[in-house]
């Protein structure tokens, strides 16, 4: 069994605003092992994004502990959030600049990632000249630029149209598997979770806590489109649907 | 390797129609100006109105020519232009800096808010007498007035843009571990370029209001001075001449800002 690299231990979080306080999470416990692809689904507004902020250390829990064994994180958001005034290449270098890792070597690695995943011809273009799918791929490569240990994916496909979405989903999943990254995906899309993850966690409505955890049994099959055609896919869908609404 | 793109006949027709439309718009623009000037000239020439009161294009040309012969034309233009540009630059630089400080500290922003609201609503011309006493009757007073008129507008415009920076992009940068300086230089400033340009455009107008208003209150030279002087001695030719020169100068300054915009914001980004 691989080592745990992220662990939530009885985590609670309360948001404070002038209007009052909101319990966003309570008794939230789970862990992610190295190289694992974990998907978290939950009803809308259950604090899924909060959970990623906690994992990345952008928020500190009110109670409990988030242990991350000193690993580094890459955050990928719903929209690509590419900067319109930078070329694609400059966008990919952004995390290097921020983390002061902007060396020739790092740039070379990012460029080779871009080449490997079909962006080589677009490096000098501006994001507005790219298709939605390519932009999202660029966003993933930007996330991978600093070679983070864990990828935090915050509904990264939800802003795309359905066809693009399936394709980009397969694309991104392939890249993450090939690069051997650990990933924590937050989504409200049950079939996306089943088709991508090794393990699916189901969250309750606010305050969020884990109500169920399932290992997916697709063996070595990691292609999300093929998984969708498997017999056990619909079984998982029904079960998770019930748990989400239960 | 370049390859020629061939369009369909329909597309060629469409392009032709677009070009024709552009030509027609340009023709009408020039035509309207020519018609107005012509009408104006006729009003004076045929005695439909007293040219002493309405002036006329030819009288304006004669007035400008005589100012030129006396050697004072470029002196007056230079004085007003210098006051306007110096005031404009100070208002833009100072306004943007203040907006930055207010963006940096939310508490400072909260403290400053009522002051900005009041200063924005205050008619700056009310400060005229104070300005004369503080800065004397030279160009300093007029530059100060120009700054005063443009400053608060610049602050509000830029602060609005800084504060409206995309929340998700901020989250993205914070997730990369960016500090406040990095957030400022990598995101807030570049994403506010469009707002900066539109602030410059607004300020071109503000600067001319400021400098001419300043010259109305106190001046020994400049286009505003010519207008006031012309009004007092009932030389409306002089008033009209100075006003026309102002129109040209303001348009020129606006055009420079548009050039800057083209340089700053590449079309490929949109």
Picking from B172, B174, B269, the nearest residue to A84 by CB comes out as B269
Q: Are residues B13 and B129 in the same domain?
A: no
Q: Are residues B39 and B156 in the same domain?
A: no
Q: Are residues B18 and B119 in the same domain?
A: no
**CA-wise closest residue to A186 among A202, A175, A170:** A202
Give the span between the Cα atoms of B97 and A219, in whole angstroms. 60
Q: Are residues B50 and B63 in the same domain?
A: no
**Predicted TM-score of the model (pTM):** 0.84
B1, part of any domain? no
CB of B173 less than 8 A from some CB of A: yes
B4, part of any domain? no
Give the alpha-carbon dihedral of A76, A82, A87, A93, to 10 degrees.
-30
Please report, for the domain that includes residue B163, its CATH number. Answer: 1.10.3720.10
Q: Are residues B239 and B164 in the same domain?
A: yes
Q: Are residues B72 and B47 in the same domain?
A: no
B257, part of any domain? yes
**CA-wise closest residue to B84 among B211, B248, B214:** B211
Structural tokens at position B64: 């400008």
pLDDT of residue B47: 86
Q: Are residues B78 and B183 in the same domain?
A: yes
The residue ranges of chain A whose pLDDT is under 70 are: 1
CB of B177 less than 8 A from some CB of A: yes
B2, part of any domain? no
Q: Are residues B154 and B230 in the same domain?
A: yes
Q: Are residues B154 and B251 in the same domain?
A: yes
pLDDT of residue B4: 64
pLDDT of residue A233: 82
Q: Are residues B45 and B125 in the same domain?
A: no
At residue B68, what are phi and psi to the nearest 5 degrees?
-65, -45
Structural tokens at position A204: 């309750």
Query: Three-state SS for A158?
Result: coil
Query: Three-state SS for A64?
Result: strand
Q: Are residues B37 and B125 in the same domain?
A: no
* Structural domains of chain A ordered from first start: 1-71+150-165+176-246 (3.40.50.300), 83-148 (no CATH)
pLDDT tens over chain B, length 270 residues: 445 677 888 999 999 999 999 999 999 999 999 999 999 999 988 988 888 888 999 999 999 999 999 999 999 999 999 999 999 999 999 999 999 999 999 999 999 999 999 999 999 889 988 998 999 888 899 999 999 999 999 999 999 999 999 999 999 999 898 999 999 999 999 999 999 999 999 999 999 999 999 999 888 899 999 999 999 999 999 999 999 999 999 999 999 999 999 888 776 666
B3, part of any domain? no
First to last CA, chain B: 26
Structural tokens at position B148: 């005063």
> Are the beta carbons of B210 and A128 closer than 8 angstroms?
no
Q: Are residues B95 and B184 in the same domain?
A: yes
pLDDT of residue B270: 63
**CA-wise closest residue to A7 among A42, A44, A38:** A38
Compute the count of residue pairs across chains A and B with CB atoms less than 8 Å apart.
54
CB of B268 less than 8 A from some CB of A: yes
Q: Angle A46-A49-A53 (CA atoms, 0-180°, nearest 5)?
A: 130
Give the span between the Cα atoms of B131 and B129, in whole angstroms. 5
**CA-wise closest residue to A138 among A196, A185, A93, A205:** A93
pLDDT of residue B3: 59
B247, part of any domain? yes
B176, part of any domain? yes
Q: For chain B, how many structural domains are there in total?
A: 2
Picking from B174, B191, B266, the nearest residue to A58 by CB comes out as B174
> Are the beta carbons of A126 and B190 closer than 8 angstroms?
no
> Are the beta carbons of B250 and B208 closer than 8 angstroms?
yes
At residue A179, what are phi and psi to the nearest 5 degrees?
-85, 0
Asked if B190's CB is within 8 angstroms of A85's CB, the reply is yes
* Cα–Cα distance list, A209 to A124, A185, A201 (Å): 45, 16, 10
Boundaries of domain holding B176? 58-269
B228, part of any domain? yes
pLDDT of residue A239: 85
């Amino acid at each position: 069994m691989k080592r745990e690299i992220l662990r939530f231990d009885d985590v609670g979080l309360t948001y404070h605003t002038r209007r009052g306080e909101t319990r966003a999470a309570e008794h939230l416990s789970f862990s992610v092992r190295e190289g694992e692809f974990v998907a978290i689904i939950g009803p809308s507004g259950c604090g899924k994004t909060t959970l990623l902020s906690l994992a990345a250390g952008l928020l500190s829990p009110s109670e409990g502990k988030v242990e991350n064994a000193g690993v580094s994180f890459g955050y990928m958001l719903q929209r690509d959030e590419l900067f319109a005034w930078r070329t694609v290449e400059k966008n990919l270098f952004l995390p290097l600049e921020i983390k002061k890792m902007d060396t020739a070597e790092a740039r070379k690695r990012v460029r080779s990632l871009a080449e490997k995943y079909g962006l080589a011809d677009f490096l000098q273009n501006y994001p507005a000249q790219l298709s939605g799918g390519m932009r999202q791929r660029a966003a993933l490569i930007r996330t991978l630029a600093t070679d983070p240990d864990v990828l935090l994916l915050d509904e990264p496909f939800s802003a795309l149209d359905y066809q693009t979405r399936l394709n980009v989903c397969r694309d991104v999943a392939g890249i993450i598997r090939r690069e051997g990254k650990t990933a924590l995906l937050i989504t409200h899309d049950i079939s996306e979770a089943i088709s991508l993850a090794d393990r699916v966690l189901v969250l309750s409505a606010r305050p969020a806590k884990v109500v169920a955890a399932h290992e997916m049994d697709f063996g070595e099959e990691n292609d999300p489109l093929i998984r969708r055609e498997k017999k056990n896919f619909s079984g998982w869908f029904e079960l998770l649907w019930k748990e989400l609404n239960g | 390797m370049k390859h020629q793109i061939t369009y369909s006949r329909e597309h060629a027709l469409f392009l032709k129609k677009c070009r024709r439309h552009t030509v027609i718009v340009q023709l009408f623009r020039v035509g309207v100006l020519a018609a107005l000037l012509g009408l104006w000239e006729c009003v004076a020439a045929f005695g439909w109105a007293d040219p002493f009161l309405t002036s006329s294009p030819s009288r304006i040309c004669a007035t400008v020519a005589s100012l030129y012969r006396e050697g004072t034309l470029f002196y007056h233009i230079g004085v007003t232009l210098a006051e306007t540009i110096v005031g404009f630059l100070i208002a833009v630089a100072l306004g943007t800096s203040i907006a930055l400080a207010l963006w940096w500290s939310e508490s400072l922003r909260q403290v400053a808010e009522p002051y900005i609201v009041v200063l924005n609503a205050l008619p700056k011309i009310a400060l005229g007498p104070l300005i004369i006493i503080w800065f004397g009757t030279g160009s300093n007073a007029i530059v100060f007035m120009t700054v005063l008129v443009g400053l608060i507008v610049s602050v509000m415009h830029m602060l609005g843009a800084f504060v409206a920076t995309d929340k998700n992009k901020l989250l993205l940068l914070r997730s990369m571990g960016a500090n406040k300086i990095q957030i400022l230089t990598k995101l807030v400033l570049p994403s506010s370029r469009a707002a900066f340009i539109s602030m410059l455009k607004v300020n071109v107008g503000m600067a001319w209001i400021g400098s001419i208003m300043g010259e109305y209150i106190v001046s020994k030279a400049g286009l505003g001075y010519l207008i006031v002087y012309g009004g007092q001695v009932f030389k409306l030719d002089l008033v009209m001449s100075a006003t026309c020169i102002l129109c040209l100068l303001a348009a020129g300054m606006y055009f420079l800002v548009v050039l800057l915009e083209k340089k700053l914001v590449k079309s490929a980004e949109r």
